[in-house]
């Protein structure tokens, strides 16, 4: 499928803005909609004034905004969401409104559109909950999320699937591992950098530090997204699902050490905040996550960096922007 006109929801954010950069460099016509609640417009400043770029500041919780944005585009890259997994434990409506309601409004606009019949959805490894099988393949089930965020992403997947089969839409659902890199505004690396800037003598770690997960650099993610988009119609599936992650894992304790190394801080005292008996620092945190990416690799993709390498590069990028 040749795509020339794209809508990127949440396109001013961490992941969305990197995707916009790549789409613009490939000479797409790109429309971005973002309410700027999780980022500023500076991530897109290089494209302001470009004839192939359009920015709409608006909230997709308003159906009229969604309707306006989808007009005349070929594909919707749906990245708009509240990215803070922990926020759902304090206020579940954050993810209901920011993920489920927004996705419903986007899908309704797509249903009424004459052109926008392709969706690429940014989902999450959190939809798997705590699977018995690692690395976890796309066909694993049942899917039992342990966070409101994971539940909202799974609900979005279900909505997308139903609209595809009911209203002749095609979709690629991408389940991301932990994505790291420049422009990130949340996550363990950002958290550690901020804490160490305040107090280089002590690092507070949520949990026992043994949480072990896959980390992927944003540049590898963007390559995967564009590859999947290019293969959209190849196998004729109405809905296709791909895991996107590294082929290994790194634990939180080691991430703390890497951040200290990059900040030239002698390893400080690690202070663990343990909320649950099994060593977790907050409800909804998955202790171990690893995705099978064999399906994506069969398309010719593979990550260029392992998890620890991705963490280290991300740390360098974030520190250089301070």
Q: How far is residue 253 from each of residues 133, 203, 270, 287, measured CA to CA in Å?
A: 23, 10, 9, 13
Higher-confidence residue of 322 and 213: namely 213
Give which of 127, 193, 130, 199 is closest to 160, Cα–Cα.
127
> pLDDT of 1-15, one tens digit each?
556 899 999 999 999
Pairwise CA distance, residues 210 & 321, whole Å: 29
Model confidence at 90, pLDDT cuts 50, 70, 90, reads confident
Pairwise CA distance, residues 136 & 289, whole Å: 8
Q: Quick one: fold of 181-214+247-289+304-320?
A: UDP-galactose 4-epimerase; domain 1 (3.90.25)
What's the pLDDT at 87?
Answer: 84
Tell whether the model's pLDDT for residue 196 goes beyond 90.
yes
What's the pLDDT at 232?
Answer: 80
Would you call the peptide bond into 305 cis, given omega within 30 degrees of 0 as the criterion? Answer: no
| Residue 66, burial from CB neighbour count under 10 angstroms (0-12, 13-18, 19+) | buried
Domain ranges of the chain: 5-179+216-244, 181-214+247-289+304-320
Q: Which residue has the tokens 């290994």?
A: 248
Pairwise CA distance, residues 29 & 241, whole Å: 26
What's the pLDDT at 38?
Answer: 80
Q: Quick one: fold of 5-179+216-244?
A: Rossmann fold (3.40.50)
Q: What is the mean pLDDT of residues 175-196?
A: 97
What's the pLDDT at 207?
Answer: 95
Tell whether the model's pLDDT for residue 282 goes beyond 60.
yes
Give this prediction's pTM: 0.96
What stretches of 243-306 show up as alpha helix (H) in DSSP?
252-262, 294-297
């Amino acid at each position: 499928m040749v795509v020339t006109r794209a809508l990127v929801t949440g396109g001013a954010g961490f992941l969305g803005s990197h995707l916009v950069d790549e789409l613009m460099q490939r000479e797409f016509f790109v429309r971005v909609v973002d309410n700027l609640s999780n980022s500023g417009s500076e991530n897109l400043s290089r494209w302001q004034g470009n004839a192939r770029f359009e920015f709409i500041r608006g909230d997709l919780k308003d159906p009229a905004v969604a309707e306006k944005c989808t007009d005349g585009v070929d594909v919707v890259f749906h990245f708009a969401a509240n990215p803070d997994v922990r926020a759902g434990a304090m206020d579940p409506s954050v993810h209901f409104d920011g993920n489920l309601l927004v996705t419903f409004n986007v899908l309704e606009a797509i249903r009424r559109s004459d052109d926008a019949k392709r969706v690429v959805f940014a989902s999450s490894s959190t939809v798997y909950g705590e699977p018995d099988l690692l690395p976890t393949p796309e066909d694993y089930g049942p899917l039992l999320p342990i966070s409101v965020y994971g539940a909202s992403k799974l609900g979005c997947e279900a909505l997308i699937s139903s609209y595809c089969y009911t209203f002749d839409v095609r979709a690629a659902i991408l389940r991301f591992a932990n994505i790291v890199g420049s422009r990130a505004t949340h996550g363990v690396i950002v958290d550690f950098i901020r804490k160490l800037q305040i107090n280089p003598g002590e690092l507070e770690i949520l949990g026992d530090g043994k949480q072990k997960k896959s980390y992927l650099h944003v540049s590898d993610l963007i390559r995967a997204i564009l590859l999947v988009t290019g293969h959209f119609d190849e196998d004729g599936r109405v809905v296709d699902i791909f895991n996107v992650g590294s082929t290994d894992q790194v634990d939180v304790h080691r991430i703390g050490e890497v951040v200290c190394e990059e900040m030239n801080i002698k390893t400080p005292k690690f202070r663990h905040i343990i909320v649950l008996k099994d060593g977790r620092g907050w409800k909804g945190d998955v202790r171990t996550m690893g995705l099978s990416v064999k399906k994506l690799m069969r398309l010719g993709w593979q990550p260029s960096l392992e998890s620890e390498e991705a963490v280290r590069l991300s740390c360098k990028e974030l520190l250089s922007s301070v």
